[in-house]
Amino acid sequence: MIDPNLFQLVCFYAFAAVTVAAALAVITLKNSVHAVLALVLTFFSAACVWLLAEAEFLAIALIVVYVGAVMVLFLFVVMMLDINQEQVREGFIRFLPVGIVVALVMLAEMLALIGVRAMRAVSMGPNPAEAAGLSNTAWLGRALYTDYLLPFEVAALILTVGVVAAVALTLRKRRGVRHQDAGEQVRVDPRSRIRIVKMDAVRAQAPAPKEPQA
Amino acid sequence: MPNLTDLLILLPELYLTAAACLLLLLDAFIRPEQRNVLHWLSLAVVLVAIYLVVANQPPFPVTAYGGMFVRDGVAEILKVFALLCTALVFVYARPYLADRKLYVGEFYTLAIFATLGVMLLVSAGNLVMVYLGLELLTLSSYALVALNRDSAQSSEAAIKYFVLGALASGMLLYGMSMVYGATGTLALAQLHGAAAHTAMPNLLVFGLIFVIVGIGFKLGAAPFHMWIPDVYQGSPTAVTVFIGSAPKLAAFGMAYRLLETGLGDLAPHWQQMLAALAVLSLAIGNLVAIVQSNLKRLLAYSTISHMGYLLLGLVNAGPEGYAAAMFYAISYALMSTAAFGVILALARAGFECEEIDDFKGLNQRSPWLAFLMMLAMFSLAGVPPLFGFFAKLLVLQAAIHAGMLWLAIVGAVFAIVGLYYYLRVVKVMYFDKPVEGSEVRVQPDAGLRVLLSVNALVLLALGLYWGPLLGWCRAAFPG
């Protein structure tokens, strides 16, 4: 019988490896549609890692919101932009060696600093939701609307600013653009569209008989 | 659980939020020719907010929402001056905006939201609040920079600001996650105790480095200064004057909250890092400013050097240093509004008045404005008896008391270097002949003229009588 702790550890490393590999694919794949699909895989495997950490609600939210909605939007945008693949990747090979060196140095430094110790580190603390005897979602909701109420409201303010900024930067009134104005269409009055002309009935005059040829 | 007392503590912020939303609604219903109503209302909103901060003072320090939000002397002083700067910006900006078809309600709403971000940031008691306050501030600033959509320069500046700002936020978040990983708490007050006996001190220092990178970006300290010159030059001057004032106070507040309230136990680590940032900022800011021909760009590099001086105060890592750094942040905000205010007073439709050559012979054409500009420049340079001199003196003193004499010497040497380019502006105004064919027309707006004069004269007044302000700053940091 396999040890559940060991099984969990193996799952964690498997999902983490897939996450990192997919994230690498996002920035290395030439085709941007493929890159977006790789990003979907990244999110999905990150959600799996969260499930392992017993954060079920966040995992499901990640899949529903990011994979389901945001990434589909991304795909649409990428397809609509129709980017020329050759031009985008021009500098890639040239800067690749430098990039790899920097990445390796950073990796080595990070491993030296935290990686080795993390192996010995204690595992995650007790699940606070379980300790409180609540389901994951209920506990999250309670934390969000009591302890973290103020940050939650400030986040809403940030979204408001996002809307204001988007409108301020994109809404402009152009002259001479042909577009439909729904309000105008609804308010239309039949009299402004059809003019009913009353006139006396006139009998159509028969064409004048042709003059007989002489 | 939050209750009514929490709401009362939060009153100024709640009021400002509601007022900003109402202004936003009002803007939708108002006719373009009635924009003045919006301008005066926005101004009134900010002034009432100052009143609420000053009048509604619970015994300090007091926290709300379980420590999420802190009201103490530091937060109060920074809030009052940030709101004051915003009010000044509103008055200075109006003629400039009106000349350029930028006189829109969004300018006021976004600026108020940005100020709200400043207020939340300086009152943050939790890493989450620090991050959210910062985002509220920077997101509004990106939009303000991009407000002039017809200018390619503005759009470029906005994109650079946005990309680098997002990178900086990412760094800060990454650092915060490491700090959380090492200590297991997000609350700054608990972090202070938890940092001392963490099981993973290396992880904590690793996180601290990223937090400092984030702070460096937001302050605009070298080597994280790349966005400052382009953003200052590229944005409409009315927005530059805002970015140069209130957000600098916020950056100081953020550095104080994160480094002292949160990670104060790691002071021996971050003192060295901040000293390095300070030396680089002083060198790059002052040396590169010498070769600038554009005044806005010159002031941008001067900002970088001033952030270096501010860091000299923080390096002290004691009450004296924090008081000096806060005094410096306030003095810088007031000096920068005065300097950009003069540019705004001389700019008109189709003429930005941002090249140093545009100031040639200003004394012959408008002696009063030339005098005000001279006050601002001398104060920025740190010439006694102006405000900037005492601010510089205090931070240098703080660095010496921290046992970093060499740092103070570097600061003093670069103050002399900096004197050159500030004096060049004064020389151009007083000793050069005006360019033929160009004429100076000062904006006729009475509010701008009066407040600009007051602003510049305050630099002189506070230079002569700086005791009370320094007293407040010192009282905010009880040992």
φ/ψ of residue B120, rounded to 5: -70, -35
Domain for residue A209, yes or no? Answer: no
| Residue A117 pLDDT > 60 | no
The interface predicted TM-score (ipTM) is 0.89
Residues of A in contact with B104 (CB under 8 A): 168
Instruction: Give the domain extent around A107.
Output: 85-122
What tokens appear for B475 in the block?
Answer: 């009282």
β-partners of residue B69 are B64, B124
Distance CA B377, CA B380 (A): 5
d(CA A43, CA A27): 14
List the beta bridge partners of residue B71: B62
Length of chain B as a residue count: 479
Q: What is the dihedral of CA B35, B38, B44, B47, to 10 degrees?
A: -90
Q: Summarize pLDDT for B226-282 with one digit per residue, the tens.
A: 999 999 999 999 999 999 999 999 999 999 999 998 888 888 889 999 999 999 999
Name the residue among B50, B75, B71 with its Cα closest to residue B60.
Answer: B71
Residue in B1, B109, B132 nearest the CB of A146? B1
Same-domain status, A17 and A71: yes
Q: How close, in Å, is residue B354 to chain A by CA atoms?
A: 25
Q: Is residue A51 part of a domain?
A: yes
Across the interface, whether the CB atoms of B143 and A125 are under 8 A apart is answered: no
Shared domain for A29 and A102, answered yes or no, is: no
| Arithmetic mean of pLDDT, A90-98 | 72
The predicted model gives A18-22 an average pLDDT of: 90
Is the domain of A63 the same as that of A90?
no
State residue B360's pLDDT score: 87
Contact present, B211 and B172 (Cβ < 8 Å): yes
Amino acid at A198: K
Integer Cα distance of B244 and A1 in angstroms: 66
Is residue A206 in some structural domain?
A: no
pLDDT digits (tens, 9 = 90+) for A29-65: 878 888 888 999 999 999 998 888 888 888 999 999 9
The token pair that represents B67 in the structure block:
């420590």
- What pLDDT digit, counting tens, does each position of B205-214 carry? 889 999 999 9
Per the structure, the count of domains in chain A is: 3
A161 CB neighbours in chain B (<8 A) are 110, 113, 136, 139-140, 143
How many angstroms separate the CA atoms of B31 and B26, rounded?
10
- List B residues 380-409 in contact with A (Cβ-Cβ < 8 A): none
Q: How confident is the model at residue A1 (pLDDT cuts 50, 70, 90)?
A: low
Is there a single domain that holds both residue A108 and residue A156? no
How far is CA B221 from its chain centroid? 13
Selected for mutation to probe chain B from A122, A146, A157, A171 (highest B CB count within 10 Å) is A157
| Residue contact B66–A147, C-beta within 8 A | yes
A211 domain residue, yes or no: no
- Which of B68, B199, B202 lies closest to A151 in CB terms? B68
Q: How confident is the model at residue A87 (pLDDT cuts 50, 70, 90)?
A: low
Contact check, Cβ <8 Å, B143/A169? yes
Tell whether A114 is covered by a domain.
yes
Q: Are A78 and A93 contained in the same domain?
A: no
Q: Which residues contact B352 (CB under 8 A, 6 or more apart)?
A: B237, B343
Q: What is the DSSP letter of B124?
A: B
For A109, the closest chain B residue by CA position comes to B206
Encoded tokens for B168? 């900086």
A33, part of any domain = yes
Chain B's closest residue to A123, CA to CA, is B181
What pLDDT was estimated at residue A120? 46
Instruction: Return the structure tokens found at B192.
Output: 């202070």
User: Cα(first)–Cα(last) distance of chain A, in Å?
Assistant: 121
Residue A187 lies in a domain: no
State the best of B123, B136, B169, B173 to mutate against chain A, taking most chain A CBs within 10 Å.
B136
Contact B202 A155 (CB under 8 A): no
- Angstrom distance (rounded) from CA B285 to CA B305: 4
In order of A150, A158, B136, B195, B209, the CA distances from A144 in angstroms are 9, 17, 19, 25, 29
Residue A93 lies in a domain: yes
Distance CA B18, CA B290 (A): 45
Q: Which residues of chain B have pLDDT under 70?
A: 1-2, 437-438, 479
